Structure 1
Amino acid sequence: MPTHVHAPDPVSGPAPRSPHAPVPDPVHDPASDPASDDGPLGRERAHLAASRAALRAMRADAEALDISDVTANWVNAAALRHQIELRIAALADLAHTPLFFGRLDYDGTAGENAGRFYIGRRHVHDAAGEPMVIDWRAPVSQPFYRASRADPMDVALRRRFGYTGGRLTAYEDERLTDPAAADTSSALLRAEIERPRVGPMRDIVATIQPEQDEIVRAGIGGTVCVQGAPGTGKTAVGLHRVAYLLYAHRERLARSGVLVVGPNRSFLQYIEQVLPALGEVGVAQATVEELVAHVEVRGEDSPAVARLKGDARMAEVLRRAVRDGITAPTEGLVVVRGSRRWRVPVHELEEIVTGTAARDVRYGAAREALPQRIAHAVLVRMEAAGEAPDDRVQDAVARTKAVKDLVKAVWPPVDPARTVLRLLSDPAFLARAADGILDADEQRLLLWERPPRGVRGARWSPADAVLIDEAHDLVQRTPSLGHVVLDEAQDLSPMQYRAVGRRCSTGSATVLGDLAQGTTPWATTTWEEALAHLGKPGSRVEELTRGFRVPREVIAYASRLLPHIAPGLAEATSVRDSPGSLEVRAASSPDSPTADTVRACLEALEHEGSVGLIAADARIGELGRALADAGVDCLAPGEETSTEARLTLVPASLAKGLEYDWVVLDEPAAVVDGEPDGRTGLRRLYVALTRAVSGLTVVHSAPLPEQLAAP
């Protein structure tokens, strides 16, 4: 069986842990103290100290680079300096983050340094260039995550390390090729998964499971969609996939860029430290709203209107609207060159305009090409008359006033925002664009009751901004990135998928989500449909159902809702059995249920780690005042690193993607009632119930939703 060695830190004591977190069984050998300098743990600590010193030297070398005479101009110098600054930032030694977390001794070389590799968050080498820590993304590190007794992958020994505040305090060995060794689960692995968490999301690089590793290391050439139940680590898998792709395809992605798209800014603040902890500091993050921020959003649509504006049919309506102004020429063209006049008859001009429109290229690109095509018709006549015009003559003809006026008349300039404004304000214009696509009732639903006077005066909604983004792309192609990670993707409308898909039209994507957690009126029902809207039809879909974060009792309780919100999904399982992790309590005083919720928060704060109080959005103000009256400091989502407070007051609408060691859920019925329909409300409740890592307390005065009754 695995050998566990645990040595308490002489200063700080044993590693802090949650009440349910197992620790490795200690083995004390008086003849060979594992914590002594010449014992196993002492030698590993010495390697850690030497590795940290080598990392500091690598960073000092980067800081000392002199580029004053290696670039041709100041622009190149600035670009090179920026790259060096990123390199310096990536080489930061995070004191409380283990530099390495594992070791591999390959078959036939156990105990010999030549076949020994320390696996960590980044590559570290000594002064001679010899590796001291191997990046977890390197091919040689892959067996750390995938090797097993059934397939040891030439690994004789796999060692995991335990840390306390950055100090190495324990290790655990698995002898994969020893037939006498039992195949047991790793206590250190479980302890790391259950380690209390305060502040932003942390990386899972030390705990990646084989099924997660397959997704992380999937090739860059294709898009991967991950359907992940709560607690399966889908967000972390997506972020680690970014880190892996940047390692394996750094030059390619450095040119094309990488983007992480999240549901809201609070979520992005929660995950923002994961990639820097892995040495990746150049990845952009944005919400969908930030991607399409062409206008100021000040309005809000009803669910019915928002659903219609997010419908994929709006793409064709907008295409027609953008091209509505294209008209056939009504008379021929006369171009004066010197003493001669060159005529192009109306029928030929009509053929040029019709042919350009039939090519279905973007409106702006076609408008830029049209003067050249007309000028070419003039040059054909010049050549027929015996002249020898060249490209400069064609460019000059294309710039003449006659050609410019013709192009303006038959292919007028289009402003995307003004086009959408007209579409939502002008019934006749909308009728032409939506003919055969939207019925009369749908057209009336789209039209504003009081049309604004101009673009700046309009109270644009989030859905309007997406329509404007679509119109922008119809006029001018949206630049494509090399890879996009789209998290909480189940909540996007078809038009939002199209907006994200434009940002990776020539690249790939990692799509993350859970159909059971779709809480918008337009939430997707199948990943196949979503991927088609994204522009990635037929992409690979992986399902993660084995949970590591949510205790088994909690996920089983939340899964009572699955038959009502996502009957086609498999129920999630959990590797963590934590008796006592779930408590459902009725308020002692139905007239003042808030007092019981505050009491439950105070009890949760007696445990280690973070505490999240999740409640219906309408109850946040009352609960905030009650906590203040009780002298309890609380934070808003995304503020977890700003103070020492451990309690976060979370509106149910912002809970998605977040996690806390202990969760107090206030009034489940209010969470359900806060949504426009019952199914969406139950999905919101499912999200709230699955945010806990160590324990969940449900407090209610109103009856619980009947769907939570035991099956």
Structure 2
Amino acid sequence: MARLGIDKDFLVDYGKLERSVQTRVAEVFGKFEEATHTGLHLEKLNNPKDDRFRTIRIDKFWRGVVLAPETGDTFTLLKVLPHDDAYAWAGRRKASVNALTGCIEIRDSIAIDATLPELARMADRAPRLLFEDVADADLTRLGVDEQTLAFARALTDVIQLEAARAFLPQSQWDALYGLAAGLTPEEVWAELGAAPEREPYDTEDIAAAVERSPGRVVLVDGPDELMEVFRNPFALWKIYLHPAQEQVVRAAFSGSARVTGGPGTGKTVVALHRAHHLAGLAGGPVLVTTFTSTLSASLEAGLRLLAGSDKIRDGIDARHVDQLSHQVFTERHGRPAILRDKEEKEIWRKIVKRLELSFTETFLAEEWRHVVLAQQVTDAAGYLAAKRAGRGRRLGARQKAQLWQAVWEFQEELKRRKVWTHETVCVEATRLLEERADRPYRHVVVDEAQDLHPVQWRLLRAAVAEGPDDVFVAGDTHQRIYSSRVSLRDVGIKVAGRSSRLTINYRTTAEILAWSLGMLRGEPIDDMDGGLDTVAGYRSQVHGRPPELRGFGSQRGELEALAEKVRQWLDAGVAPGEIGIAARSNMLADTAIAVLERAGVRAGSLAKVQEADEVVRAGTMHRMKGLEFRCVAVIGVGEHQLPSSSAVTPVEEDELTNAQDLQRERCLLFVACTRAREQLNVSWHGAPSPFLSGLVR
């Protein structure tokens, strides 16, 4: 029975086809099994570079390009193009099997041959070749075949390699690019996810290579699966794995493990695949969790795309940490009454007044959350002995006694009112789990780990027994947008020796990534395990326009320019849902929506619109976390808006906390800017934010 594979690059192309062509593609390939058995539609090319390429008729104007195996019945749809373009595209290309990974690869063989003579002439005159220090044996070991090797030996500049990305085999180009970026052959080997020991692959068996290529081809069984792919083309494309990611997904760890990486490096994709992999091992229920309901819903949607309706999905529980703590709490005590933020501030305010303290209610609340709760302090002696690293303001014994009295009165007031905070619910849920002989989960997978509070980490630690593959952590402390800081070791999660780092950005262009990283260079950012994290080595292989930076004399002028820019994007063919607007405050985001609507652009709030709604989406920088758009406008990046004064502790109150707050605001801007895939606009009115110092020409 014929089986159809869909090349991941076609999934991106499919979303750009006219609706009528999309419908016709679905009709043709929905009957693909019948067509291949009867010999209909599949046509050979005249004088192709690879006689395994076929075309298939979509309609009078459009043709599909299909890779047909010499043996077996697995066919792969590569392209759908206008008639002449389809024949030209197929006639230039060859399929091959990568000797290192065993996966399918496609190359523009004519372009390689046509470019090589001029490169060779330039190489003869050049003082140095790009890969002159890399031995042929190392290149061959990394999967570089004879044709690509000859091409590589003629390169003199990385710019030539970047220009060749369109026609070289992707996995071989990845290997060369890694070497050009300064990685050793061993580091490139690891990034390509090659097995340390294996039998040689049969480089003539295309059908087997397709089966081994989940990072490039999605295989479908029947028209129902095919239609599911076509309903979610770009979303499905986003859950493919690079070999380096797949290596982390399928690893067996003796305990907890962690993956880190910058924005767009695929940490969430790895987390989802990891959960699916662990559930498929029949190792008990798996919890996939994060810190907000928005991100939890995104994880749930990703799991639906990845797992579909398979039985493995039944073994995965996707929910955010507060949902878990409230469930455990409610099962024993009933639903808790949660103290509102306004009420909490009023309690602290009254305590400050009654005890005549020199501390602000904000300082007291932060001390309670980030020292008392974070370190499980239960009495005055424990508070006197508690570490206050990161709190900044030094306290004498008398001041600590005053603070503990304030904390004690606050906690007593919670008891008197019979109310809880989300943190105290979490503490109680942890106690209940620790009392149990069994634990609810066999494995826990945590995404966006950098923003979880220590009490949440202890809950997750209590939800799974210590053992192989118990907790898997994915995060990036450069993207921390809340004030929680933690040492994983202190909450019982030991990842030493079991950490991996992803460095290739699959979302953002090199120009946007480099500019955004400039905001963080020199910032001492912790790694959640006693050391410092780094942005060194992060890179993107996709190039595009540099970010556009513009200042205005007034907010009105800035927002009118925003409406004009959005209209330009729409006129260029960008879908409304592929445009995102990020602001520091809800008020500015709502104002931008109103301006866009008056300009005739359909727009809506990220907090309200559904993913399927075809509108331009605007929201706070916090709401942008975990999302991505083709085009992003970050607005209101002025000196009086970012950093937000309400989010920064005054330096005279606590110097270190002030520095941490400023760093968090800087990271928030970094997160907003790296949501952009192709185009980024950053604007302000008045003077620019100090975070843009050195980045504005």
Match of 1:262 among 286, 290, 302: 290
- The answer to whether structure 1 residue 461 and structure 2 residue 493 are counterparts is no
Tell me the residue number matched to 2:209.
none
Match of 1:702 among 686, 690, 694: 686
1:504 corresponds to 2:464: yes
Partners of 2:24 and 2:148 in 1: how far apart? 27
SS in 1 for 2:520: helix
Please point out which of 658, 672, 691 is paired with 2:643.
Answer: 672
Between the aligned partners of 2:554 and 2:277, the Cα distance in structure 1 is: 53
For 1:572 and 1:15, locate their aligned partners in 2 and report how far apart those are by CA, in whole Å.
Answer: 44
Q: Which whole-Å CA distance do the structure 2 matches of 1:477 and 1:225 have between them? A: 27
Q: CA deviation at 1:622?
A: 2.4
Asked if 1:299 corresponds to 2:261, the answer is no
For 1:119 and 1:243, locate their aligned partners in 2 and report how far apart those are by CA, in whole Å: 25
- Letter of the 2:277 counterpart: Y
What pairs up with 1:526-565 in 2 under 5 angstroms? 529-538=487-496, 540-565=498-523
CA gap of 1:119–1:222, structure 2 versus 1, over 3 A, is: farther
In 2, are the aligned partners of 1:232 and 1:548 still within 8 Å (CA)?
yes
> In 1, are the aligned partners of 2:520 and 2:666 still within 8 Å (CA)?
no
RMSD in angstroms over aligned alpha carbons? 4.7
**Correspondence 1:31 to 2:59:** no
Q: Give the secondary structure class of the aligned counterpart of 2:147.
A: coil
- Residue 518 of structure 1 aligns with an amino acid whose one-letter code is R
* Partner amino acid, structure 2, of 1:31: N
Q: Which residue of 1 aligns with 2:320?
A: 287
Determine the structure 1 residue equivalent to 2:665.
681
- Mapped contact 1:550–1:690 kept (Cα < 8 A): yes
1:232 aligns with 2:265: yes
Say if 1:656 and 1:688, in contact at 8 Å, map to a contact too: yes
CA offset at residue 289 of structure 1? 1.5
Cα deviation, 1:205-251, whole Å, max 9, x if unaligned, reads 7752222121111126432211110111111111112222233x0x2
1:158 and 2:104 are equivalent in the alignment: yes
Report the 3-state secondary structure (helix = DSSP H, G, I; strand = E; otherwise coil) of the residue aligned with 2:643: helix
Determine helix, strand or coil for the equivalent of 2:647: coil
Partner of 1:41: 54
Per-residue CA deviation, residues 665-709 of structure 1 (Å, 9 max, x unaligned), is: 011232421532322211111111111111111121132223423
- 1:214 equivalent in alignment to 2:228: no
The count of residues paired between Structure 1 and Structure 2 equals: 470
Residues 410-467 of structure 1: CA deviation (Å, up to 9, x unaligned): xxxxxxxxxxxxxxxxxxxx44775755842442342345954857x44532222222
The 5 Å alignment of 1:231-380 reads 231-247=264-280, 249=281, 251-252=282-283, 256-279=284-307, 280-282=312-314, 283-293=316-326, 294=329, 295-300=336-341, 304-305=363-364, 307-311=366-370, 314=373, 317=376
Please say if 1:111 is aligned against 2:58.
no
- In 2, are the aligned partners of 1:583 and 1:698 still within 8 Å (CA)? yes
Supply the distance in 1 between the matched residues of 2:322 and 2:370 (Cα, whole angstroms): 17
Contact 1:560 1:707 in 2 (8 A): no
Whole-Å separation in 2 of the counterparts to 1:315 and 1:651: 28
The answer to whether the Cα contact below 8 Å between 2:551 and 2:688 also exists between their aligned partners in 1 is no
For 2:543, the aligned partner's letter is: S
- Distance change (3 Å), C-alpha of 1:558 and 1:444: farther
CA apart distance, 1:539: 5.3
* Higher RCO (Cα < 8 Å, 6 or more apart): 1
SS in 2 for 1:272: helix
In the alignment, which of 481, 484, 504 is matched to residue 522 of structure 1? Answer: 484
Matching residue of 1:649: 618
Separation in structure 1 between the aligned mates of residue 367 and residue 9 of structure 2, nearest angstrom: 61
Q: Is the 8 A contact 2:430 2:459 kept in 1?
A: yes
Using a 3 Å threshold, how does the CA distance of structure 1 residues 307 and 5 change in structure 2: closer, same or farther? closer
When residues 221 and 111 of structure 1 are mapped into structure 2, their CA distance, relative to the original with a 3 A threshold, is: farther
State the SS of the aligned residue for 1:561.
Answer: coil
SS at match of 1:584: strand
Separation of aligned partners in 2, 1:629 and 1:534: 54
Code of the residue aligned with 1:680 in structure 2: it is R
Give matches, 1:346-425, under 5 Å. none
Alignment partner of 1:633 is 2:602: yes
The amino acid of 1:41's aligned partner reads R
Give me the whole-angstrom Cα distance separating, in 1, the residues matched to 2:240 and 2:418: 50
Unaligned 5+ residue runs, structure 2? 1-7, 26-42, 59-63, 78-94, 108-141, 153-163, 172-214, 217-229, 330-335, 345-360, 388-399, 526-532, 649-660
Q: In the TM superposition, what is the alpha-carbon distance from 1:569 to its structure 2 partner?
A: 0.7
Residue from 546, 549, 574 that aligns with 1:608: 574
The equivalent residue for 2:129 is none
Q: How far off is 1:484 after superposition?
A: 1.3
**How much does 1:257 deviate?**
0.7
CA separation of 1:44/1:499 partners in 2, compared to 1, >3 Å: closer, same or farther? farther
Q: TM-score with structure 2 length normalisation?
A: 0.57
1:82-105 per-residue CA deviation (whole Å, 9 max, x = no partner) reads: xxxxxxxxxxxxxxxx9xx999xx
Q: Residues 580 and 181 (structure 1 numbering): CA distance in 2 closer, same or farther, change over 3 Å?
A: closer
Sort the Cα spacing of 1:671 and 1:646 in 2 relative to 1 into closer, same or farther, 3 A. farther
**SS of the residue aligned with 2:455?**
helix
Q: Give the whole-Å Cα distance in 1 for the aligned partners of 2:492 and 2:419.
A: 28
More helix by share: 2
TM-score of the two chains, using structure 1 as the length reference? 0.56
Higher deviation after alignment, 701-710 or 204-213: 204-213
Counterpart among 179, 190, 201 of residue 146 in structure 2? 179
Which residue of the partner structure matches residue 366 of structure 1? none
Seq. identity, %: 18
